[in-house]
Structure 1
Amino acid sequence: MTENFWKDKYPVGINSEIDPDEYQNIQAVLRQSCERFADKPAFSNLGKTLTYGELYKLSGDFAAYLQQNTDLQPGDRIAVQLPNLLQYPIVVFGAMRAGLIVVNTNPLYTAREMEHQFNDSGAKALVCLANMAHLAEEVLPKTGIRHVVITEVGDMLPTLKRMLVNAVVKHVKKMVPAYSLPGATRFTDAMARGRDKAVQEASPQSDDVAVLQYTGGTTGVAKGAMLTHRNIIANMLQCRGLMGSELGLGCETMVAPLPLYHIYAFTFHCMTMMLIGAHNVLITNPRDLPAFIKDLGKYRFTGFVGLNTLFVALCNSEDFRKLDFSGLKATFSGGMALQLATAERWQAVTGCTICEGYGMTETAPVVSVNPFQNNQIGTIGIPMPSTRCKVIDDEGNDLPVGAIGELCVKGPQVMKGYWQRPEATAEVLDAEGWLKTGDIAIIQDDGYMRIVDRKKDMILVSGFNVYPNELEDVLATLPGVLQCAAIGVPDERAGEAIKLFVVTRPGESLTKEQVMQHMHDNVTGYKRPKYVEFRESLPTTNVGKILRRELRDEELKKLAAAS
């Protein structure tokens, strides 16, 4: 496949290339957009809206706090463990303006997962929600974190509403377990200390790391993908170039139900939408469908970003179907495969087609997407501008168009590498910049691509990557377990659900409830199993490696027989 293969695959009016060096760093994008769209709404949540001008002011206050009240230096890592609240963009952009590297952290992590990520990244500071501060209390003595900022759900709301919301969350809903962090600073106090103070604006180089985004990779060991300013800016420009052709400046309202700590939502809402001055409606808890739909009813939204499971849940809601969709002109899907039935149902309900894309943490994250002008349901679209794709066989040889092989990606959005893991980096990234995705794909004659299988044993639960090795390592610590394996099985709601197979030690017995409780205590929600099966033995190779594929094949045969 030649370089020229891709040049004529883009619809008329879309450039096949972008300039990834248009901006030196993310701060430059933020400054330009906040000046250009100063009076336009940037983010809304819980009934409060921040304009771009206010976002710049508040992120500057947080940056000043970090610079004048801590000993943090440019290049230090700060873990940000927040759901979709107005505090998230303030903290992230403030940290970047102070020159810090953001370590996005899932608020649902268990203490074990937090400890690994904090220590692996070398984080020196943490900003987290009070709801999980009790876990921080447990973990922090085992880490190098010296500075902690605690925020509550309602901290960005007007005084009376803030007090009411925080009191309800803590005392009525009982969502804030007791904790003791004597050295921590309240977010409101930090903002007050930094208010109107001078900021020494950091000016990192384009190749400096902006975000450490953790991913399990193929081994199950969580690794930090080093995403540079150039990586993220390139993907922002690519998204605008291919997805933004129908979107206007300063007039779009985008629904943001996916978590901003996930690189998909981060790059789309915090970066791409900032470039066009869009208004992002942050949904803190999309699982609370009634509250989510009630929020949607307050806005004439023009864009929606989601994934298959969310589209299904919404379309099944009578209240959602009653909403006004007259303004909706763009819906984007990623994170997991979009099912044809879901796409058809969404279009029937909303009148809007879904453009499916594909990406991964290591590509900041978007690799390809279906353009508005020619949307092919069932494909992952065409590569982003300035992106090249190819498929290879098991020996690494390039394969022709139409052949099935491992998808490889090359472009300015491809990560710098894994944080302090040169060997793991070398396994997936070659000297020419080609990244092995681990996914099996076909590139069609027209340039559109289809994912046909996963080379990895990764399980995809509602768009979140779950790695069998991690689950098996956790389960192996349960007394009585001799052998175990984790696989994904088809699930109508989540795409895949986790099934564990357990072989107990001779003379020992375990129950499903004991296994479930052990996993509940040690892994976050989406990594917990739905099914547990006890067996006398598991299929293995002649050297004793458990054959997960055989287990998957058995489950698929059972399903086929049942249907």
Structure 2
Amino acid sequence: MSEHANAAVLRGPALEGLDQYDSVTDIFHSAVARFKDKPAFSCMGKTLTFAELDRLSADFAAWLQHSTDLVPGDRIAIQLPNVLQFPVAVFGALRAGLVVVNTNPLYTEREMANQFKDANAKAIVILANMASKLEKVLDKTEIKHVLVTQLADLHDVPKRWLINAVVKHVKKMVPAYSLPGAIGFSAALKKGASLNHTDVKRRPDDLAALQYTGGTTGMPKGAMLTHRNLVANMLQARQAIGSHLTDGEELVIAPLPVYHIYTFTVNCLFLMETGNHSLLITNPRDMDAFVKELKGLPFTAFIGLNTLFNALCNRDDFKQLDFSKLKLTISGGMALTKASAQRWEETTGCPIAEGYGLTETSPIVSFNPNDAIQLGTIGKPVAGTAVKVVDTDGNEVALGEPGELCVQGPQVMKGYWQREDETHHSIDANGWFYTGDIAVLQEDGYIRIVDRKKDMILVSGFNVYPNEVEDVVAAHPDVLESAAVGVPDEDAGEAIKLFVVSKNAQLDAKTLRQWCKKELTGYKVPKIIEFRDELPKTNVGKVLRRQLRDEEPSNT
């Protein structure tokens, strides 16, 4: 905290060790050397040690270097759920000097095409379940190298055959596709094992990842995260969280998607750096299988968010698990309610420590000390980080007063990919990133979020921007105009409510929702649709979303 009670800037402690590493791969090699025989990642009953992760990622790097024309700095999309192939692909790509483009495996063809084109991706690693979508958009992208993997490709025979056969032939989760020239991920690893690779030396300011986030225009933007950004956030996480963990000894549950910046940094990077063991949950929506997988495991930490904590605490089978080893639960991605936190602690005996971050900050900005949790706050700034709040004119406001939260630190992104204007609007000349979230800095050094970006909707921890939803709805021939807003929702934190002015009285909510499902990922599809004769507007014709959002709930 600042020395002066009335100061408008809060600062975390000094950040230690940042100059020791130039890149994420430097930290990777350090971790492998220290923890080679320790388990690194497990999924569906299969575990990879650090030594095995080192070998397999080297095999992938060798394949990339010898069997493609990719050069350091090229972008490779990785469109995978929580499977063992994810860390292998990520670290292999980074060792070959490539830039990782994390891609949501639930994306529609339109969303995939937009992201791949924007990133100028030259290669992709994709789960076979989504390959039919790629087939439809591949010619709209610059992707030349396609690697397809099945769910259990890194499992041992016969389990690999069994799981893959069930997924494809029994559950019929792999639509037919034709991708001439595509290679199996396993085949690439096998070929790479016979080749030598050379780890590409990367500088701190070189890009490591393009992490996409929604934009105020509705089009996702790629946050340029450098090796320095990610290394800094790993070390910041270590100082904020690591004191509660023992290097190389923890079993951490990872149910949230690893392509999301929250889990990508915490589980895939920070826990790798500390030599700890992440259990990847492939489909946390299958709650029966999820809880069954936890049964009997001596897990010591749990990474989640509000909706997941709520859902688990409503289950009798979850309440019967052994929580005697659980010592750390982390919440992020969306606001943690006091009711959820209290229920979790009553159920597990472990309090929840809430943190805060953004894609643009790699993501961690602040965190609640596990031994001094203050519910209702997002904790204190992590090491090397300064935060302030400003008024609408950009002037710093005093502690205790609300204003826009601004962040300065080594984890702040380099900028938005190919969007210089938006970068300049978001990061000032002194390196302050303007979050758009409204916060209060407390005199005790904690931060409290009181509001956030006016139009953004946060559904189960995922950003949804109204313009994207409205653009899809506007394409329906019977829609005159629409407006999407967020409304409180017990399960997801917020739900999307769509107000529609229709040209056809026969148009109904079910039809419109089906239309949206063709173009939007599930969490972006409106949950509530209300038809209106007109929408409230400003005198220049801009729809007043805030007025719609603040209305009393309709009975229709």
Where do 1:147-158 residues align within 5 Å?
Answer: 147-158=145-156
Task: Please state how far the C-alpha of 1:3 moved relative to its aligned partner.
Answer: 8.0
User: Cα distance 1:436–1:15, how it changes in 2: closer, same or farther (>3 A)?
Assistant: closer
Counterpart CA distance in 2 for 1:15 and 1:249 is 21
Kindly indicate whether the alpha-carbon contact (under 8 Å) linking 1:480 and 1:509 is maintained by their aligned counterparts in 2: no
Counterpart CA distance in 2 for 1:217 and 1:360 is 13
SS of the aligned residue for 1:159 comes to coil
Counterpart CA distance in 2 for 1:312 and 1:185 is 41
Residue identity in the other structure for 1:17: L
Counterpart CA distance in 1 for 2:523 and 2:3 is 40
Kindly indicate whether the alpha-carbon contact (under 8 Å) linking 2:378 and 2:448 is maintained by their aligned counterparts in 1: yes
- Of the three residues 527, 538, 541, the one matched with 1:544 is 541
Counterpart CA distance in 2 for 1:558 and 1:181 is 48
Counterpart CA distance in 1 for 2:20 and 2:311 is 40
Counterpart CA distance in 1 for 2:93 and 2:272 is 17
Task: Please state how far the C-alpha of 1:8 moved relative to its aligned partner.
Answer: 12
Counterpart CA distance in 2 for 1:393 and 1:309 is 32
Counterpart CA distance in 2 for 1:268 and 1:458 is 24
Task: Please state how far the C-alpha of 1:16 moved relative to its aligned partner.
Answer: 3.7
SS of the aligned residue for 1:242 comes to helix
Kindly indicate whether the alpha-carbon contact (under 8 Å) linking 1:206 and 1:230 is maintained by their aligned counterparts in 2: yes
Residue identity in the other structure for 1:39: D
Kindly indicate whether the alpha-carbon contact (under 8 Å) linking 1:406 and 1:455 is maintained by their aligned counterparts in 2: no
Map of 1:392 onto structure 2: 390
- Of the three residues 526, 529, 539, the one matched with 1:529 is 526
Map of 1:366 onto structure 2: 364
Kindly indicate whether the alpha-carbon contact (under 8 Å) linking 1:408 and 1:434 is maintained by their aligned counterparts in 2: yes
User: Cα distance 1:363–1:350, how it changes in 2: closer, same or farther (>3 A)?
Assistant: same
Counterpart CA distance in 2 for 1:455 and 1:83 is 28
Deviations 1:408-467 (A, max 9, x none): 000000000000100011111101000000100000001101000113310000000000
SS of the aligned residue for 1:325 comes to coil
Deviations 1:252-307 (A, max 9, x none): 01000011100110110111111211000000000101111111114200000000
Map of 2:216 onto structure 1: 218
User: Cα distance 1:486–1:9, how it changes in 2: closer, same or farther (>3 A)?
Assistant: closer
Task: Please state how far the C-alpha of 1:246 moved relative to its aligned partner.
Answer: 1.2
Map of 2:553 onto structure 1: 558
Map of 2:46 onto structure 1: 48
Where do 1:291-302 residues align within 5 Å?
Answer: 291-302=289-300
Moved more, 418-427 or 217-226: 217-226
Residue identity in the other structure for 1:537: E
1:161 aligns with 2:159: yes
Kindly indicate whether the alpha-carbon contact (under 8 Å) linking 1:137 and 1:179 is maintained by their aligned counterparts in 2: yes
Task: Please state how far the C-alpha of 1:219 moved relative to its aligned partner.
Answer: 2.5
- Of the three residues 493, 499, 502, the one matched with 1:501 is 499
Counterpart CA distance in 1 for 2:550 and 2:13 is 44
SS of the aligned residue for 2:20 comes to coil
Counterpart CA distance in 2 for 1:312 and 1:203 is 44
SS of the aligned residue for 1:558 comes to coil
Residue identity in the other structure for 1:513: K
Deviations 1:166-208 (A, max 9, x none): 0000010010011011110011111111014211111110000
Counterpart CA distance in 2 for 1:63 and 1:540 is 54
Counterpart CA distance in 2 for 1:521 and 1:120 is 21
User: Cα distance 1:300–1:105, how it changes in 2: closer, same or farther (>3 A)?
Assistant: same
Moved more, 468-477 or 14-23: 14-23
Deviations 1:35-94 (A, max 9, x none): 110000000001000000110000000110111111111000000000000000000000
Counterpart CA distance in 2 for 1:407 and 1:536 is 38
Map of 2:16 onto structure 1: 18
Map of 1:235 onto structure 2: 233
| Aligned-CA RMSD value | 1.8
SS of the aligned residue for 1:35 comes to helix
Kindly indicate whether the alpha-carbon contact (under 8 Å) linking 1:18 and 1:234 is maintained by their aligned counterparts in 2: no
Map of 1:80 onto structure 2: 78
Where do 1:372-411 residues align within 5 Å?
Answer: 372-411=370-409
Map of 1:476 onto structure 2: 474
User: Cα distance 1:54–1:501, how it changes in 2: closer, same or farther (>3 A)?
Assistant: same
Counterpart CA distance in 2 for 1:7 and 1:88 is 42
Map of 2:98 onto structure 1: 100
Map of 2:413 onto structure 1: 415
Map of 2:242 onto structure 1: 244
Counterpart CA distance in 1 for 2:16 and 2:282 is 33
Counterpart CA distance in 1 for 2:286 and 2:376 is 29
Deviations 1:138-162 (A, max 9, x none): 0101111000000000101112111
Residue identity in the other structure for 2:176: A
Kindly indicate whether the alpha-carbon contact (under 8 Å) linking 1:20 and 1:412 is maintained by their aligned counterparts in 2: no
Map of 1:274 onto structure 2: 272
SS of the aligned residue for 1:21 comes to helix
Give the % identical residues: 59
Task: Please state how far the C-alpha of 1:218 moved relative to its aligned partner.
Answer: 2.6
Task: Please state how far the C-alpha of 1:2 moved relative to its aligned partner.
Answer: 6.1
TM-score by length of 2: 0.97
User: Cα distance 1:186–1:3, how it changes in 2: closer, same or farther (>3 A)?
Assistant: farther
Task: Please state how far the C-alpha of 1:348 moved relative to its aligned partner.
Answer: 0.5
Task: Please state how far the C-alpha of 1:7 moved relative to its aligned partner.
Answer: 13
**How many residues get paired?**
555
- Of the three residues 255, 258, 271, the one matched with 2:256 is 258
SS of the aligned residue for 1:374 comes to coil
Deviations 1:320-339 (A, max 9, x none): 10000000000000000001
User: Cα distance 1:414–1:537, how it changes in 2: closer, same or farther (>3 A)?
Assistant: same
Counterpart CA distance in 2 for 1:70 and 1:522 is 32
SS of the aligned residue for 1:446 comes to coil
Deviations 1:82-134 (A, max 9, x none): 00000000000000001100000000000000000000000000110000000
Residue identity in the other structure for 2:52: E
